[in-house]
Chain A
Amino acid sequence: MTLTIDGVYKQFGRFPALTGVSLEVRDGEFLALLGPSGSGKTTLLRVLAGLDKPDHGCVYLDGVDFLALSARERRVGLVFQHYALFRHMTAARNIAFGLEVRPRAARPSRAEIAARVDKLLALAQIEGLGGRYPAQLSGGQRQRVAVARALAVEPQLLLLDEPFGALDTKVRKELRGELRRIHDATGVTTILVTHDQEEAMALADRVVLMNHGRIEQIGAPAELDAAPASPFVFTFLGETNRLPCDVLAGVARFEGFAAPVICPARPADGPAVALFRPEDTRLDAGPHADGAPARVVEIRGRGPVRNITCQVLGGQRVIADVAEAAAERFEVGQRVHFSVRRVVLDAGEAARPGAIVEALAPAARLTA
């Protein structure tokens, strides 16, 4: 099975939800559509499920025009953020629904349906809960039922729309692992929509990062980390610090140190704003160390990593992630030197660390 999405446009009123999205989904892969709200990822999912029709563009599944099929005919399993379980049916009846509504000729026998429901309950690890109504299940259990229900019809494609969005952190992490296990056990091609970069990066084989209705970058999580295609990708995928710098021959120069620019590929020489990760920031306590002078103003965090905030000479603050053992060498008020392993140059888009871009106007074209 190969799913080809070619030049899909979709506009809601005056809001362009998808502006020319092309993408190839490989057989059996686990793909994450990642992006801020309003980036078009859910619209793309709804187009694939047959709930929205694009204004232009094509979708082919193994060469068959997918858009010509109704939602009913597509054999797509859809899992919603709020589960959308049939509230008047038990978990088992929910799972059996897709089989029971088949036309008589294609419908499995009662015994076959019951056996299949049992298998799916076991796959989703909710054996023994088949007789419960949705109201009698926890959020995590409901989402397990919803996944089992979607898988019951042996879909060609499993689509999940923010499936863990309504769950608390602990259950979310647990279900994430479960979803990946279920994907690996069934081999069903899976597309997950999420705004949680950690979730996408932890789960997916490939991540499609979307912004303003178009794809910013497609790649394996490690590729996105190592070679971000734009400042947006870099800021969306993690925490970032900002500092002014001077670019010369592909290297960002700061007071006391320099760091290679990994994006854009051929940066223009001159003054710029550098973005860099706390984990790429190195602190040195020695009095004659290399790097830019700074002063420690705050030490926070627990577990293996401490977040140390420093104030540089210009007054800006920079956060460095330091391993727990190494962090013991630092204290608030101490003079230190810091340097950075790699930077991305900000193209001037309103993308700040952690900020979610929701501007309606199309973004300034980012030159790579």
Chain B
Amino acid sequence: MSSEPLLRMRGIDKDFAGVPALSGVDMTVAPGEVRALIGQNGAGKSTLIKVLTGVHRRTGGRIRFAGRDVDFGSPQEAQRAGIAPIYQEVNLIPYRSVAENVCIGRAPRRFGLLDWRAVNAEARERLAALGVHVDVTRPLHTYPIATQQMTAIARALAFDARLVIMDEPTSSLAEHEVGILLDVIRRLRDAGVAVVFVSHRLDELYAVADTITVLRDGRTVADAPIAELSKYELVSAMLGRELAESGRRGHRTDAAAEPVVLEASGLRRPPALNGSSVSVRRGEVVGLAGLLGSGRSETARAIFGADPPRGGEVRVAGEPAAFAAPRDAIRARIGFCPEDRKAEGIIPELSVRENLTLALLPRLTRRGIVDRARQREIVARFVDRLGIKLAGPDQKIGELSGGNQQKVLLARWLCTRPDLLILDEPTRGIDVGAKQEIRDLIGELADDGLSVLLISSEIEELVTGCDRVLVLRDGATVAEFSGAGISEDAILHAMAEGVSAGVRTEGGTDD
């Protein structure tokens, strides 16, 4: 006799201005079940969580929680109903004490005034139930993220949460802290609280989850007890297996003869980078594969000087180079197109023209004055070359579509004529047509002598477009494939299981 599940989401749709982010997603969670939720960026898991926790309103489908149909209009409503989200950046009040963060909003009182002794005692008790013993009177921010998360969990329980949703809780945790968190999750499960656990660290999921839901492109592509799904199957489900045999990059077997443009080794920057290494030769397209959290973007930023590394070495054209700021890297003829174009790419209020020529400004000005004619010419040239659709060069970049924005950002770097271009997810969030255009462009540029370091979560893109592919895992380089050795299988395996560092595979498949 099965009891009704605690949560049943059926056929969930969510549109944003007509663009679907979720299509017919199903997810069920029973009391005391630990369900893993996994998918790449853009797959829809954040949206699903936001729908569940009341941040967004769904456009279609049904949600049934604790035996009732629900339609949360605000996060407060969802929390009152018993759904408690625990986010990556802990959403608590940093300057307040641990105890206060646990109890605020329902603190025990005496004669109308807060009874601190009772507050502190309650907080201590609740944290102890999770196996955490700390001084609850100290401000929250004096504790590391791990403790802050425990506080958030304690708070959730204090508010009678029945379902706790953890959104990538382990990304900033050290190894031993992860173990403690997983322990807490098991305690929650034993207490009958359901947990939805979003993470990319496969080992953790396999250690603690009972079931798993995999999302891709806004749909559910797998939903099974985790014991029935191997890591390899999991990763392939996440990334999809659209193999395109045509258009494979002619492997440049003479690449070894070209000079090394960039050599980075042993890059360290805790907690994300633990000895990653990358090298790129002239005219090579080197791909960087790995799951989220594997340190790819961090490696790129370390090389570019955006977040200089604490350890390791970077060499450009054989000479040691330690860029302290992006400016220095740009002067060394390196360009970097970041992952999040909204946060770090476009300057929304400025025009396309301004955004496009921003990195080139030092070379576009003569005695401080911008050479308008040259600027216009460059903009026109790249708009044409990249097929950027816009009303005019003075249109605000914020009004362009994602694909066109990305093209402008690409042009920003291309017009500086770099020797090495680092691209972090250049085709993410772009329509299929634009994707292909950009991929073709990268190939052409490489043939002309541009070196490219390409970070991508789309395996197909790496397989068809790269001369070599490096795989990162947990902040270190674990595998390298080149030539015919590049295959989806090999990359997926390396991402899923990891191969011991230093294994290089040339030619045939690895065994």
Partners in one complex: no
Tell me the B residues contacting A by CB distance below 8 Å: none
